[in-house]
Amino acid sequence: MKTQLYLTSALAAVALAACGAPEEAAQDAAPAETAAQSADAETAETAAVEAENPLLAEWTTPYGAPPFDLIEPAHFLPAYEIALASHSAEIEAIAANPDAPTFENTMLAMENSGAQLTRISRVFFNLTSSASNDEIRAIQREMSPRLAAHSASITLNADLFARIDELFNTMDERDLTAQQRRVIETTHERFTRAGAQLEGEDRARFAEVRSQLAGLYTQFSQNEQADREAWTLALSEDDLADLPDYIVSAAAGAAADRGLEGHVVTLARSSVEPFLQSSPNREQRETAWRAWNSRGSNDNANNNADTIRQILALRREQANMLGYESFAHYRTGGTMAGTPQAAIDLMEQVWWPARDRALEEAADIESMIAADGLDHALEGWDWRYYTSQVRAERFDLDESEVKNYFQLDEMIEAQFYVAERLFGVTFNERTDIATYHPDVRVWEMLNGEGEVVGLFYGDYFARPGKRGGAWMSSFRAQNGITGDIPIIINNCNYNKPAEGEPALVSFIDASTLFHEFGHGLHGLLSSTDYPSLAGTAVDRDFVEFPAQIYEHWLEQPEILERFAVHHETGEPMPADLLERVMAAGTFNQGFATVEFLNSGFVDMAYHLHEDPTSIDIAAFEEEILSSRQSPEQIPMRHRSTHFLHTFAGEGYSAGYYSYLWAGVLDTDGFAAFTEAGDIFDPTLAQQLLDSVFAAGNSEPAMDAYVGFRGREPRVDALLRDRGFVDAEG
């Protein structure tokens, strides 16, 4: 998501190089002739580059998919040079148009501009996340500040904004469709929030700040990746004997990916978390846990502490220049929450019930430690290990047994099946479309009439060069003007099994799969008139709603009975095991919610701080967590120095709370289906499609939710869903 949001900004940019050129040409006829000859030569050179560069040439692939079999890192910089110049010229032509502004000559022209730059950047930034290497990272370091400067040159173009502003102030006098009004409203807001109304030195400084921030975001991300990929924990044969087969298999695959012998644990979440849950070796758990939590804060070149302070200071300066009290006020000002306090109030409402439940969970773990005859205190590296034992004892669940029924391929089929039942679309795998890595798979999405209406890529396994976590992005957004179908990609980081073995995932991994596919469907099912409104281009605290509500279908017995089948026998999960899996649904929710909220509170506190340059990162985290009386054994889900959500870009900065905000929406929203007595109720499914998945940003987020649910959301369902009702009382 981060990449897609960044591109929306980058492609709204324009350079000022062409300003004044007509006057200069009129002053001297001889230089004009020379310039014309030079221009012809430049045009010929550009045409030659375009013919040879696959990023600039016409894509004759199926559905215009990226020709990854032809694209090489060396193609990007030359392609960017041409695309940036082309986009600058297009935008300058719009800004300098002598005709009075209309929707067609201003807004529609902007929607159609920058096609080359859009295409190149969507491919490039997906590769920086999914298949990076030293060459790609070097290009990223060079291009990120340049693209930010390009973006600023558009949003700070006074002539262009004057046209947008005139359209905005005269909308009621014009014959506009609802979506045309929305395009004007959202564009005007985006430009205003990007400094379009600044004057004088402030305009130049604002552009400089944006460029500096872009470079710092790249630095933060690359530091985290370098620290994460540098660490491994080698496992001996004795260590392996105490671990489940699926962890042993994943450890062998991780070693092979790195050219190492034997078996290793890595700091990919899909590797380290199962190890922390399963390893009886407390010393090794502590080593892995400390390495996992210290990414980006070690005494080496990858330390992100100073990068964080620089980012926070520049963000505060940026917000102050725009008249906001803090960056937190700036960021929440354009969301459903509206203010930092509203976001904090929501987190507070959930915090105390979650903390109470977490303390109950801690007491259960301490009892088990004592029962084992051990006298050590409960520490962070103990929580997952003993939680898995408490869970196994209370619900008679063995993670290895459960995992045998969660084959990745079956879960992929399950996500497609739910989409078909809800929205009438089907998926057909294509093996003839080039990808950037052999593990990537491609499907075409067909509507009820058999027409291909989207292309979907799935990149599911962890590997070196791929950032951690899971995310959705796009190679092409749905475009109602050109009729181009969306091309969407989901990335996950599951452990790749040894050759010939099935890919088994946990229930949580399967939930992540459904979550990201919910984002994917938000892009695939988009049906807007204009690309700037398409798919996930919605409020930050609304964008998680489609993803999080989609997770609920995985939890339904009807889905698990059909797709949770044993990888060896093909038999469905036994009824008694299914019942125990469902009964354990709210288990350890105290820990999970506290872990999340720790990051949410710290994120918001950073962006409210009045003097970010003075912050001691570790001490600040401790101060915020202590003020909430957070259990010491539960850290932030994302420690600051590897908090990619908030410091590798602006998508979730002062906005990590949005997952909880969306949690209120998704639990309240899915309750509509359970109340109807049919998880595939056709009327509700159609409302969900029309108001949310297909609508993009064609109306304000709350209006979209009410269009689906019939009323505004309530927090009750979230508290009930997480098992906090009793704690609340």
Q: Measure Cα distances from 3 to 471, 548, 664 in Å.
A: 10, 20, 26
Q: Does 44 reside within a domain?
A: yes
CA distances 318 to 11, 196, 331, 671, Å, are 20, 13, 11, 41
Domain range spanning residue 267?
231-293
Residues near 562 by beta carbon (within 8 Å), at least 6 away in sequence: 414, 417, 572
Of these residues, 516, 551, 555, 595, which one is catalytic?
Answer: 516
- What type of residue sits at position 684? L
pLDDT of residue 586: 85
The label of the residue with tokens 């110049």 reads: 85
Lowest mean pLDDT among 8-12, 106-110, 574-578, 613-617: 8-12
pLDDT at residue 48, rounded to an integer: 67
Are 114 and 253 contained in the same domain?
A: no
261 residue type, one letter? E
- Range in 35-39, 217-221, 454-458 the model is least confident about: 35-39
CATH number at residue 95: 1.10.1370.40
Residue type, 173: E
Q: What confidence category does residue 491 fall into, taking pLDDT thresholds of 50, 70 and 90?
A: very high
Q: Using alpha carbons only, how large is the chain's radius of gyration in Å? A: 26
Rounded distance between C-alpha atoms, residue 470 and residue 52, angstroms: 34
pLDDT of residue 727: 38
pLDDT of residue 187: 98
Tell me phi and psi for residue 265, to 5 degrees: -95, 140
Residues 654-670 pLDDT 10s: 999 999 999 999 999 99
Q: Do 131 and 48 fall within a single domain?
A: yes
Residues 73 and 137 in one domain: yes
24, pLDDT greater than 70: no
Residues 282 and 165 in one domain: no
**Whether 359 contacts 620, CB under 8 Å:** no
* Per-residue model confidence as pLDDT tens digits over 83-93: 999 999 999 99
Q: Which residue among 275, 293, 311 closes a domain?
A: 293
Instruction: Please give the share of the chain, as a percent, with pLDDT higher than 90.
Output: 86
Residues 178 and 287 in one domain: no
How does residue 541 score in pLDDT terms, banded at 50, 70 and 90?
Answer: confident
Q: Residues 382, 649: contact at Cβ < 8 Å?
A: no
Strands 487-494, 471-476: pairing is antiparallel
Cβ-contact 428, 444 below 8 angstroms: yes
Check residue 398 and give its pLDDT: 85
* Domain match, 43 and 185 both: yes
Domain limit, last residue, from 193, 219, 253: 193
CA distance linking residue 690 with residue 707, whole number of Å: 8
Rounded CA-CA distance 250/270 in Å is 9
Q: Do both 46 and 163 map to the same domain?
A: yes
Q: What is the pLDDT of residue 40?
A: 62
Q: Do the bridges between strand 426-430 and strand 441-446 make them parallel or antiparallel, or are there none, so unpaired? A: antiparallel
Do 85 and 144 belong together in one domain? Answer: yes
Q: What is the pLDDT of residue 43?
A: 66
Edge-first strand order for the sheet with 452-461 is 426-430, 441-446, 452-461, 487-494, 471-476
- The Cα–Cα gap between 420 and 621 comes to 45
- Cα–Cα dist 335/274, whole Å: 36
Residues 136, 70 share a domain: yes
pLDDT given at position 51: 75
- Tens of pLDDT along 140-199? 999 999 999 999 999 999 999 999 999 999 999 999 999 999 999 999 999 999 999 999
| 5 pLDDT above the threshold of 70 | no
Task: Determine, yes or no, domain membership for 652.
Answer: no
Statement: residue 208 has pLDDT above 90 = yes
The confidence score (pLDDT) of residue 498 equals 82
Give the pLDDT confidence score for residue 400 in this predicted structure: 86
pLDDT digits (tens, 9 = 90+) for 405-457: 999 999 999 999 999 999 999 999 999 999 999 999 999 999 999 999 999 99
Span 69-114, pLDDT tens digits = 999 999 999 999 999 999 999 999 999 999 999 999 999 999 999 9
Of 39-43, 622-626, 715-719, the one with minimum mean pLDDT is 39-43
Residue 482 has pLDDT above 70, yes or no: yes
The mean pLDDT value for 123-144 works out to 97
The rounded distance, in Å, linking the Cα atoms of 485 and 527 is 10
Which of 293, 315, 347 is the last residue before a domain boundary? 293
Q: Which helix (H) or strand (E) holds 475?
A: strand 471-476
Query: 326-351: string of b/e by CB count within 10 Å (b at 16+)?
Result: bbbbbbbbbbbbeebeebbebbebbb
Measuring CA to CA, how many Å separate 150 from each of 187, 196, 295, 453? Answer: 17, 14, 32, 32
| Residue 203 counted as domain residue | no
Helices 134-155 and 76-95: angle between axes, nearest 10 degrees: 10
Pairwise CA distance, residues 696 & 689, whole Å: 10
Q: Is there a single domain that holds both residue 163 and residue 241? A: no
- Structure tokens belonging to residue 68: 């990854």
Q: Is residue 590 part of a domain?
A: no
Handedness of CA 468, 470, 474, 477 (dihedral sign): negative
Count of structural domains, the chain: 2
pLDDT score of 41: 59
Please give the distance of CA 210 from its chain centroid, rounded to a whole number: 21
Q: Is the pLDDT higher at 24 or at 245?
A: 245
Considering the domain boundaries, does residue 142 fall inside one? yes
Q: Length of the chain, please? A: 729
CA distances from 235 to 260, 264, 275, 462, 581 (A): 12, 6, 11, 19, 30
516 is catalytic: yes
Within a domain: 132:
yes
Checking if the pLDDT of 633 tops 50, the result is: yes
Does any domain span residue 559? Answer: no
Considering the domain boundaries, does residue 476 fall inside one? Answer: no
Residues 6 and 146 in one domain: yes
Average of per-residue pLDDT across 10-18: 29
Q: How far apart are CA 412 and CA 194, in angstroms?
A: 40
Residues 49 and 165 in one domain: yes
